[in-house]
Chains A and B, each alone.
Chain A
């Protein structure tokens, strides 16, 4: 079974700082990778996804993520965070074929200070 690790549980940044959130997964086959965001009091929304092709994917709100197959990683980045990016961020994975239910990491709570 696959698993997902998010090493940063709580990150505090000032506005305009750069962001990188780590995500590592364990699964031997092909995978689909996702980052979801949960703003306070809201449901999960998709930030970006990787299925195949260019390992650098761009999502909404200026976020991007890079898939590094050799490191089993899918780190999320943003060059300059805003106060409105305060939220919880979840990395998730499904196998490339077959089962479609997501396996989630434990989440990273991002707090951006104005």
Chain B
């Protein structure tokens, strides 16, 4: 039982490049979330999903897209990377209200 896994762990992007952050959970949770963590700012919700095929915006969705084709996977897509997207990205899942977090992806955009 791996819980929530994320890949890659680290990535450096150039401005304007695109990439997908992968997130997979093996707990059969319906709810999945993407957060970003900036220093001194806590975690902010980017997107969330209440089940396969259903996604919705969080507090800071601009510049990101998501999809949820299966219960297990919830990838986050950055289409045109900008320096403001330099952050640590955490994926989480929950069955009820308790969320389980992945190890994070540290992304730098230069």
Interface residues, chain A, CB within 8 Å of chain B? 4, 6, 9, 32, 34, 36, 42-46, 49, 51, 90, 94, 100-107
Query: In the bound complex, do residue A46 and residue B43 qualify as a contact, i.e. CB atoms below 8 Å apart?
Result: no
CB distance from B68 to the nearest CB of A (A): 14
Cβ 8 A contact of B33, one of A4, A6, A101: A101
Cβ 8 A contact of B31, one of A100, A104, A106: A100
CB distance from A21 to the nearest CB of B (A): 14
Cβ of B28 under 8 Å from chain A: no
Query: In the bound complex, do residue B48 and residue A101 qualify as a contact, i.e. CB atoms below 8 Å apart?
Result: yes
List 13 other contacts, CB 8 Å, given A34-B98, A107-B40: A43-B101, A43-B103, A44-B90, A45-B101, A100-B94, A100-B96, A100-B97, A102-B33, A102-B92, A104-B35, A104-B44, A105-B42, A106-B40
Q: Which residue of B lies closest to A106 (CB)?
A: B42
Given contacts A9-B40, A43-B101, contact A101 B90 (CB under 8 A): no
In the complex, A90→B45 CA distance in Å? Answer: 14
